Every structure is written in C-alpha cells, then in structure tokens.
Amino acid sequence: MRLIFSLVALLGLVIPAAAEATPASALAHQAAGDRLRAQGLYQEALAEYRAELADGGQSAETWKRIGWSLRGLHRSHEAAEALREAARLDPTDREATEDLAALERARGLTVLGWLGGTEPGTSRQAVEGQLRYAGLDRLELQAGAGWSDSIFYESAKGYATGYFFYAPGSYLKGDLSLRQYAYSGASRPTPDSNAYDLVPRLEVEVSHHVVRALRAGLAYQLFTPSFFYDPQTTTVNHKVTVELEVLLGAGVTLTGMAAVLSDPDPARTTIKGRPVPGAPAGTVCTPGAPSPDCAASTAVVKRRELLVGGGGTWRTAPFTASLRIIPNRDLDSSYAWSILSGLELRPVERLSLDLQWTFDRYSSVSGPTFAGKNGNILWMRARCQLTPGLALGGGFKYVNNPGPASTSPTAGTRSAATLLLDVEWRTGLLH
C-alpha cells in the first residue's frame, strides 16, 4: 500500500512538471503557426513559432517548424541552423535529421543533364547540361550549355541565370544567353533571308504575389541578333510580357498573358544579296550582278505584334493537369498558335509520370509547304528518385509534322521518335 501511495505522489509531481514544460500559450502559438504555414504565410508563421519559444516551447518540434518556415522564406542558412538545433534537442527525431540532409543537398551543387531536350519540340536530337547552386540565402544560380538538331538548323547555346527570392513566392530573375545557328548539311532546307546567325539575349523578369490568390508577372527580353546572310548587320528586338495568375481554389489556377513583340518584318525587310520580298520564286542572286529582284543593301523594317494567350492548371496530390493556348510560340511567326497540354501523375512517392501533347497550327507566312497545316508532338517520360540525391528519367518524344524535305503543298509528313534520358544529382557539395 505504501508503494502505491509513493507512485501516486510521484505521478502527481511529474504530470504538473510536464504540463509546465509546454504551457497552453506555447501550444496555441504552435497551432497558429501551423495554420499560417499551411497558407504559405511563412513570415507570420515564423513569428508565432518564435513566440512559442519565448513561452517555453523549447522542443525539437518547435525548431523543426522554425526551420521549415525559414526554408519557405529562402533563408536556407538559418533554416539549416534551426534543423540542427532540432536534431540536437532530440537525436532520435529522424524527421529533423532527414530534413536537414535534404536541405543541405538542395543548397549544394546540383548537376543536371538531358538527352532529347527539356521540353516538347520538333528537334531530332538535343543535349543539354546544367549546374545549379542554391547555397546563398534567397539566391539560386544556374549555368548551362546545349546543342540541338532542329531539322531546319543546328544551334548551340550557353546561358547563365539567377533568381533572387525577395519574398515568399516572389522572385526577380535575370538571364543572359548566347545562341549560334548553323544551316549546313545536305538535308537542311535553304534558310529564309531573315534567318539569324548569332543571337545574344538578355531577359529580366519579376514575378510577384500581389495577394495570396493573385500573382502578377512582368518580363522584358532584348535580342540583338545578326543575320545569317549578312552577319555584319545586327538588329535590336524587344519583347514585353505581362502575365496574371489567379488561384480559384481547390487547386485550380487560371493564367492569362499578353505580349508585345518588336522584330523584323519578313514582308518588308531586305537583306543584302538576297531576293527582295515578293521576288519571283526561284530567284537566284549572283554577287556582282545587280538585279531589281535582289537587295543591294540590308534595310530592316520593324513590325509590332500583340500576342494574347492563356490557360489553366489543376493541382491535386496525385496529379497536375494543365492546358495553355499561346500564339507564335517560337517568336519567328512559323506558328500561328499552339495548344500545350500536360498531365503529371505521382502514383507513388518516388515516381512521377510526365505526359505532354503539343498541337501547332502553322501560320500563313510559313511557306506553302507548311501554311495552314498542323503539327503534333507527344512527350512521355517517367522519373524515379532512386536515392535522396539521385533521380533518373527516361521516355520518348514522337513528332508528326510537315516534313523538312517537302517541296510542294502535297508532300508528305515527318514522323519520328526521339529517346529521352535525364539525370539530376544533388551532390551536397558547397552547401
């Protein structure tokens, strides 16, 4: 009996002590922080978790939540410190140690590679490699290079991109790229007079959450290409894009975009030594033999196009479905408009399936072989997270469009499949 009374007395001391370890006010702050964090309000959630600490909520659970909120704010160094503190307070908390390891991998150097391209396109083959680094707070840096056999030309590119995340869900982007085009090869059609040679490009973009359900984006692109048939002459092209994204609820988002493009008008621009617009078909210009059907000098006449498009996305836990309609997607007037649709499935935790269909309608200025015709691109890829730091993907792309060897409106189509392979390796270096 005496033993029973002793146990009851001991429990009477332990239970109040445990209650005092986590006061009701601290639990209230944690619950409020969890609600705010679920809404993407990381700064407000962080304030609640800090208040929980002040009220005596010194626990691994609190520090984990602080780490998650700081990561949402792209303050990755502080987030790592918070997760380390969580792991120190409770060495048996696997969630804290695994989240810390995942954060360090994400912050470190990532190596990515693609065979077959990074998005649906008509290329025969494409190869690209990229390095990505996010070890600096609020910054993500990317640099890469690639090559593509795009049927009508080959192109090589190099680029450097930086993202500055100045607020939750909002960023400022800067991008510099250089692309070189080549039209050599017996199977390549003769490029049009306005074809480009070397294309430097600068892009600046800001994407901002005006309110939680509304995102606004503004992007400006500056191109200064030289012409393939007159590489000594360059032109200056501009594109300004405005985009609005509205979150309707239940995972549904609607997007609208409008862009103004200023570039050379192929119907009025003349290129030195090339047939003038409207010249008889088959006109051949011989150096040193003046002809009214051949341009004696290069004269660029600009046009301005208004491009309007839009679409929607439906996101749920097991899948994401999207549909967009955009005009002149390659910015060279070859397409009148395009439909881009996609379905991403996540049947299990480490596996995703990416299915895309692109429908292109060729414009009236794309030449008699293509004008008014349709093109289709099917993209199917599976991606597996083999280890926490290594992911591999594979699939194929199928293209059906007017053939590049077509010489008349009655010629056939091109049908071809391309193998897709990709790898992502989060090395964890330099975190």
Residue 20 belongs to domain with CATH number = 1.25.40.10
Question: What gap in Å lies between CA 355 and CA 225, rounded to an integer?
Answer: 34
234 located within any domain = yes
What is the dihedral angle through the alpha carbons of 194, 197, 202, 206, rounded to the nearest 10 degrees?
A: 60
Which residue among 71, 106, 141 closes a domain?
Answer: 106
Cα angle value 315/49/81 (rounded, 5°) = 90
The pLDDT of residue 358 is 95
The pLDDT of residue 329 is 80
68 located within any domain = yes
Q: 68 and 126: one domain?
A: no
Question: Backbone phi, then psi, for 84, in 5-degree steps?
Answer: -65, -40
What total of structural domains would you count in the chain? 3
Pairing of strands 252-264, 302-315: antiparallel
Question: What gap in Å lies between CA 175 and CA 147, rounded to an integer?
Answer: 18
Q: 137 and 56: one domain?
A: no
Q: 245 and 333: one domain?
A: yes
Question: Backbone phi, then psi, for 424, in 5-degree steps?
Answer: -135, 120
The pLDDT of residue 372 is 84
Of 139, 127, 98, which Cα lies nearest the Cα of 387? 98
For 54, residues 6+ apart whose C-beta sits below 8 A from its C-beta are none
254 located within any domain = yes
C-alpha distances in angstroms, 390 versus 217, 244, 257, 333, 424? Answer: 32, 35, 36, 40, 6
Q: 393 and 410: one domain?
A: yes
The pLDDT of residue 336 is 87
For 10, residues 6+ apart whose C-beta sits below 8 A from its C-beta are none
431 located within any domain = no
DSSP E strands, 195-284: 198-211, 214-223, 237-249, 252-264
The whole domain housing 284 covers: 273-300
Q: 102 and 201: one domain?
A: no
Question: What gap in Å lies between CA 33 and CA 52, rounded to an integer?
Answer: 9
Query: Left (φ > 0), alpha (ψ -120 to 50) or beta: where does 174 sit?
Result: beta
Q: 8 and 38: one domain?
A: yes
pTM check: above 0.75: yes
Q: 290 and 180: one domain?
A: no
Q: 286 and 381: one domain?
A: no
401 located within any domain = yes
- 70's tokens: 């700081």
- 234's tokens: 């360059």
Question: What gap in Å lies between CA 321 and CA 349, rounded to an integer?
Answer: 18
Q: 363 and 418: one domain?
A: yes
The ranges of the chain with pLDDT < 50 are 1-20, 406-410
340 located within any domain = yes
Q: 162 and 205: one domain?
A: yes
CB hemisphere CA count around 334 (13 angstroms):
17
Q: 101 and 129: one domain?
A: no
331: CATH = 2.40.160.50
Instruction: Count the Cβ atoms, other than its own, within 10 Å of residue 386.
Output: 10
Query: Left (φ > 0), alpha (ψ -120 to 50) or beta: where does 34 sit?
Result: alpha
Residue 182 contacts residue 196 (beta carbons within 8 Å): no
- 360 forms beta bridges with 338, 375
The pLDDT of residue 359 is 95
Q: 319 and 198: one domain?
A: yes
